[in-house]
Amino acid sequence: MIGMLKKLKLLDLTGCFDLRIDDGVFKNLDSLEELYMRAYEYGRIMFTDANCDELEILSRELFALELEFFKNKARPKKMSFEKLESFRISIGCPFEELKGDKKYSFKNTIKFVGNCNELLEISELFEKTEKLDLHVNDMKHLENIVSMHHSFSNLKVLYVSGCKELTYLFTVAMVNSLKNLERLEVSYCHVMRTLVDEDCTVGVIRFRKLNFMYLGDLQNMVSLCRTVIELPELVELSLFRLLNFTSISLDSSNPGGIQSLLNKEVVIPKLEKLNIWDMEKLKQIWPCRIPNVEKNNVSMLRKIVVERCDCLMSIFPNNPLPMLNNLEELTVVWCGSIEVLFNIDFETISEMDGYISRLRSIKVKYLNNLKEIWRMRGVNNSNILINGFQGVQSITICYCKRFKDIFTPVTANFDLSAVINYDTKEVFRVI
């Protein structure tokens, strides 16, 4: 029936389960301009060799194409993309389900599982691609799939996962060509050592528009890069199972004993959200004494989440107010070595003069060694009101078996007058 509609311009077969297309159907649709073919959930579209041959011819006139080749040996190999302006193509895997308005409103997308040579067959689309999701077994770095004629100049979202031979992702030239990249996620690339070629020690690496970065389960990663890296628009940084790092920021007082993710030349002036999970060797996020340059990197932080980092000894450096003036939410879970969240030394209180914290919410759970939230030294006069944290509204402390006090010394005149929610479960003593 469909094959008889010779004037048909749009064909939408989205949501069909185990769809089969008769040979000759595509051949007759020579007026078709838009073709949408996505199987229902994890179903598949049964392509024959004849279907693929006809689709190659049909592709010459298409300006919109959505297509999945999943669990199917037959694939078109000589498709034309010259007129294609809108596309979402998945090869070797299904797309995630899109609902509502997102169903027909999408970025130009390639999702690919396979090898470099197969991916290069669709390199004509690279310059128009806005979202790229790669699982390429034999890719050693991104330049393996970029020819001198086709770049990713319009790329906004890049996902890279399960690339078994990837040692680094970018060269400096590649980074500087990705002028529109906004979101980067790299995960499960177990031989990857650096984000940018570690042999490159000159030049400035600048991700102009990148606002989100996720690095996860990169077991051999040792640093982002060895040169200056600028992330001027980065708002959220998420780190998961980076097993080699003992610190996030560089500790200049102990450079030999600390493996840090960020060197002193990393610039992240707009960072608002920091998420850290399952970093089993992590001992500190920042050193006890933080340099002024690093304070600029974290001064905009609004939310910190840290979970399952059992060797982590401290969340913040001493007297953290100057660097965390905008922090609003703090969540710490399953970090068994932490004894205190905030260490404040009033003998150097001049460092904190004029700073008022915006912290509103503190949640701590399963911190087996936590004894107090605030530990203050040099407090000799209970008549002096300590008011740096008077904006805190909610404190939740659960399953911290050694917890004793909200603050010490307990005789201090510590202003927590804004607290309206105070929840404790399974703690030893609270004063």
Q: How many CB atoms lie within 10 A of CB 263?
A: 16
pLDDT reading at 111 higher than 70? yes
Least confident of 155-159, 290-294, 299-303, 340-344: 290-294
Range of the domain at 60: 1-106
Q: Which amino acid is at 230?
A: E
**Which pLDDT score is estimated for 71?**
64
Q: Which two tokens stand for residue 306?
A: 């840290």
pLDDT reading at 154 higher than 90? yes
Percent of the chain surpassing pLDDT 90: 46
pLDDT reading at 366 higher than 90? yes
**Which pLDDT score is estimated for 172?**
85
Q: Which two tokens stand for residue 162?
A: 């399960």
Distances (CA, A) of 338 to 343, 368, 378, 404, 430: 12, 8, 22, 14, 18
Residue 218 in any domain: the answer is no
**Which pLDDT score is estimated for 35?**
93
* Beta pairing class for 247-249 and 228-230: unpaired
Residue 43 in any domain: the answer is yes
Q: What number is the average pLDDT over the span 408-416?
A: 83
Q: Which two tokens stand for residue 56?
A: 């190659």
DSSP output for 378-400? S---TTSEE-TTTT--EEEEES-
Q: What number is the average pLDDT over the span 375-395?
A: 80
Q: What is the mean pLDDT of the chain?
A: 86
What is the number of structural domains in the chain? 1
Reported as a pLDDT band with limits 50, 70 and 90, residue 93 is confident
Core vs surface per residue 204-222: b (16+ CB within 10 A) or e: ebbbeebbbbbbbbbeebb
Q: What number is the average pLDDT over the span 175-186?
A: 94
**Which pLDDT score is estimated for 149?**
59
Residue scoring higher pLDDT (341 or 106): 341
Answering whether pTM is above 0.75, one says yes
Distance, CA of 104 to chain centre: 25
Q: Which two tokens stand for residue 109?
A: 């997308």
pLDDT reading at 104 higher than 60? no
pLDDT reading at 33 higher than 70? yes
173: enclosing H helix or E strand: helix 172-177
**Which pLDDT score is estimated for 77?**
76
Contact (CB, 8 A) for 215 and 240? yes
Residues 6+ positions from 1 with CB-CB distance below 8 Å: none
Reported as a pLDDT band with limits 50, 70 and 90, residue 381 is low
**Which pLDDT score is estimated for 392?**
93
Measured CA to CA, the distance from residue 307 to residue 366 in angstroms comes to 10
Closest CA to 304 of 330, 343, 271: 330
* Beta pairing class for 236-240 and 329-333: unpaired
In terms of C-beta density within 10 A (0-12 exposed, 13-18 middle, 19 or more buried), how is residue 1 classed?
A: exposed
- The residue with tokens 């610039």 is 267
Measured CA to CA, the distance from residue 198 to residue 226 in angstroms comes to 6
Residue 119 in any domain: the answer is no
Residue 411 in any domain: the answer is no
Which residues of 296-371 form beta strands (DSSP E)? 303-307, 329-333, 340-345, 361-365
Contact (CB, 8 A) for 294 and 286? yes
Residue scoring higher pLDDT (4 or 372): 372
pLDDT reading at 14 higher than 50? yes
Measured CA to CA, the distance from residue 348 to residue 376 in angstroms comes to 11
**Collapsing DSSP states into helix, strand and coil, what is residue 6?**
coil
For 49-71, what is each residue's pLDDT tens digit?
Answer: 888 888 889 999 999 999 888 76
Residue scoring higher pLDDT (107 or 272): 272
Residue 280 in any domain: the answer is no
pLDDT reading at 192 higher than 70? yes
Reported as a pLDDT band with limits 50, 70 and 90, residue 47 is confident
Measured CA to CA, the distance from residue 387 to residue 15 in angstroms comes to 59
Distances (CA, A) of 61 to 16, 32, 86: 24, 7, 13
241: enclosing H helix or E strand: none
For 343-353, what is each residue's pLDDT tens digit?
Answer: 988 776 555 55
**Which pLDDT score is estimated for 103?**
57
Residue 352 in any domain: the answer is no
Residue 148 in any domain: the answer is no
Q: How many CB atoms lie within 10 A of CB 147?
A: 11
Radius of gyration of the chain, Cα coordinates, nearest whole angstrom? 27
Distances (CA, A) of 171 to 205, 225, 227, 375, 400: 9, 10, 12, 46, 46
Residue 223 in any domain: the answer is no
**Which pLDDT score is estimated for 431?**
47
Q: Which two tokens stand for residue 206?
A: 């600048």
**Which pLDDT score is estimated for 246?**
94
Beta partners for 46?
A: 20
Reported as a pLDDT band with limits 50, 70 and 90, residue 120 is confident
